[in-house]
Structure 1
């Protein structure tokens, strides 16, 4: 989301206006895969880089609107829930840089875990660990071929609006290929992901799907949108 790549030496300029522990809460609207608006404030999620709105990737050998899907996944993660965003600075375009959470997720980390973003060079270790899970399980972008968003912007400068993030050095186009798995069902509701993960009294990690016998009475300790996400977190499907 930038017309020109910002040189690495200009990194400090992106954080010219630190805002400490300023916290914004409320409902959010999705702009794209790494940008939201809250209470009239445009917020860039710190630590990730998602495909641009116009970016096209490949999956199963066919063109795939990964930028559009990244925005959709971000909307699924938020799921109409209120967000709490902690601002860490502003960028040269006046936008707020922040980490945002729902009652369940660190939003940026969850985008990485679902494979719809890549970590920034200075992202925390749990962000890179979330990326590793997605890559191993071939979630999202890792199910096909894609240009890193920074490389896509470099090649399509006229198609992408400016971005606010820590500076990333210009890079050659980088593609990652993998066999595309079958598209799996997503379980969501008004609160977000609907698969309930629970630690049973016997110490087993079990997930319950909507409609299963014990779903309604299960108090979730984790929520997932797909069964593969639940399995990746170490949960097994309930037998009833």
Structure 2
């Protein structure tokens, strides 16, 4: 085949088969499904590395119970309204949604939702938004203005009544690496949204179900946990 023929054939192949990288980007108008899920240009998208209250979830501020799940959806809706959203796919979840980092113009949607207190950093999958979460927690923003149940805990509590939630972003809890017997510090998040770690010998150590295990107190603190208070 001549050089000209080869070039022509190559052009046909390129037109018929867009580069794979292009398939990793989803762009278009968007609508919010809840505080961490979108439909972008007709495709379902799950925001990577964050976890917002479920739409039916409630939180507390003092004696007041409020619809924090609905409020999180409304916040995400406001962020995407009237703009083109561009999402870069990281992976695909068990529901076929594109797990992505998304921008609405200059706005980083994943980071903004956590930084403003409408979602938590989903540490089981990424530490990218831990700093943003700590900002929201320090300033009492969004759900951090009161008490709340972690969205993952809420989903688990609803499974007997809502089996369609089963399998949503669940993976085994992190345990100490094999051979590292010093990784015995238990990190646990309670229903008030507090992150507490327990050392061997502390009163509730044996009864604590760890969500994460740490080798040192410094590692636990860097992940946002505080030491359990032992009262006399």
TM-score (norm 1): 0.60
Q: Which residues of structure 2 form unaligned runs of 5+?
A: 1-19, 175-187, 195-232
Q: Indicate which of 91, 94, 103 corresponds to 2:93.
A: 91
CA distance in 1, matches of 2:95, 2:135: 33
Of 185, 192, 195, which residue of structure 2 is paired with 1:175? 192
Tell me, yes or no, if the aligned pair for 2:91 and 2:98 is still in contact at 8 Å: yes
Give the drift of 1:24: 0.8
Q: Which runs of 4+ in 1 moved over 6 A?
A: none
Give the 3 Å change call, closer, same or farther, for CA 80–55 of structure 1 in structure 2: same
Aligned positions, number: 158
- Structure (1 or 2) with the greater helix fraction: 2
| Corresponding residue number in structure 1 for 2:126 | 123
Change (3 A) 1:130 1:77: same
Distance 1:173 1:132, change over 3 A: closer
Cα shift at 1:174: 2.5
Q: Is contact 2:30–2:81 with CA below 8 Å preserved after alignment?
A: no
How many Å apart are 1:159 and its aligned residue? Answer: 4.2
Does the aligned pair in 1 maintain the 2:31–2:81 contact within 8 Å? no
CA contact (8 A) 1:52 1:160 kept: no
Q: How does 1:183-198 map to 2 (within 5 A)?
A: none
Q: Is the 8 A contact 2:150 2:193 kept in 1?
A: no
Residue 136 of structure 1 aligns with which residue? Answer: 138
Larger Rg, first or second structure (1 or 2): 2
1:113–1:73 distance in 2 versus 1, CA, 3 Å: same
- Cα distance change on mapping 1:105 and 1:165 into 2, 3 Å: farther
Deviation digits for residues 102-131 of structure 1, max 9, x if unmatched? Answer: 122110100001101000113244x11111
State the structure with bigger RCO (CA 8 A, min sep 6), 1 or 2: 1
Distance 1:154 1:35 in 2: 18
Aligned residues of 1:57 and 1:63 also touching (Cα < 8 A)? yes
After TM superposition, give the deviation of residue 91 of structure 1 in Å: 1.4
Normalised by the length of structure 2, the TM-score is 0.62
CA distance in 2, matches of 1:174, 1:88: 30
Long gaps (5+) in structure 1? 1-18, 178-240
